[in-house]
Amino acid sequence: MEVSSQSRLGPDAWVDAAYAAFEAGGVSAVRIDRLAKALKITRGSFYWHFKDRRALLQAVLDRWDQSKTEGAITANEDAGGDPSDRLLRLLHTCASDDGKLEIGIRAWASEDEDARQTVERIDERRISYMARLANAAGVPEHVASARARVGYLAWLGSYSGAVPTDVDQRIADMDCLWRMMLET
């Protein structure tokens, strides 16, 4: 537990720099070359800490998962309130996110199968948490699930990311939305 004034860099320094670059300019801003210059080190040394650029992006994804999913859920639970309040607070937290990482991560996931799977798992984790809150607030379980799903997708759509679902699922979504849209 001492001040990190090492002359040699650890992997964390690379992830810090990559995370910041990602937030500022998306996947394409995460360049080993530029990060190395910023860290005042040669790019060759990067490969001591990481297998390749993909491994670095994977580390950024993991950090994002911790802070924006597990961390956010824990924080929301700790803040208390009844289920209805918790859900509203969660949605407001979601709406307040500037989406920079949400967009960037999904843009990357659209071109990397492993990342796509990780993001899909994270989406499922979030949806099931929302569904649990709605259910606890009195909405029947499977209705809560359907609405949590549609609600989450609409939130995602407000940034527009990239997690493919299958055709049948989407057709079912559309039928549901169609009825919602046409009922007076």
Across the chain, how many H-helices and E-strands are there? 10, 0
| CA distances (Å), origin 65, targets 7, 79, 115 | 30, 20, 11
Contact status: 42 vs DNA (CB under 7 A): yes
Closest residue by Cα to residue 128 from 151, 99, 102: 151
Positions in 123-142 near its own copies (CB under 8 A): 130, 134, 137-140
132 binds, among its own copies, DNA, none (CB under 5 to 8 A by kind): none
Confirm if 119 and 102 have CB atoms less than 8 A apart.
no
Contact status: 34 vs DNA (CB under 7 A): yes
CB of 29: closest distance to DNA in angstroms?
9
By beta-carbon proximity to its own copies, the closer residue of 20 and 137 is: 137
CA neighbours within 13 Å on the CB side: how many for 152? Answer: 22
Mark 61-100 with x for binding to its own copies (rule: CB under 8 A) and - for no binding.
-----------------------x--xx--xx-xxx-xx-
Cα of first residue to Cα of last residue in the chain, in angstroms, is 63
Mark 48-87 with x for binding to DNA (rule: CB under 7 A) and - for no binding.
xx-xxxx---------------------------------
Contact status: 125 vs DNA (CB under 7 A): no
Contact status: 2 vs DNA (CB under 7 A): no
Closest residue by Cα to residue 47 from 11, 4, 6: 11
Structural element, H or E, at residue 66: none
Helix residue ranges, H only, the chain: 11-25, 32-38, 46-49, 53-65, 71-78, 83-96, 100-109, 113-136, 141-157, 167-182
Q: List interacting residues with its own copies (CB under 8 A).
A: 25-28, 84, 87-88, 91-92, 94-96, 98-99, 103-104, 106-108, 110-111, 119, 130, 134, 137-140, 144, 147-148, 150-165, 167, 169-171, 173-175, 177-178, 180-182, 184
Q: List interacting residues with DNA (CB under 7 A).
A: 8-10, 30-34, 41-49, 51-54
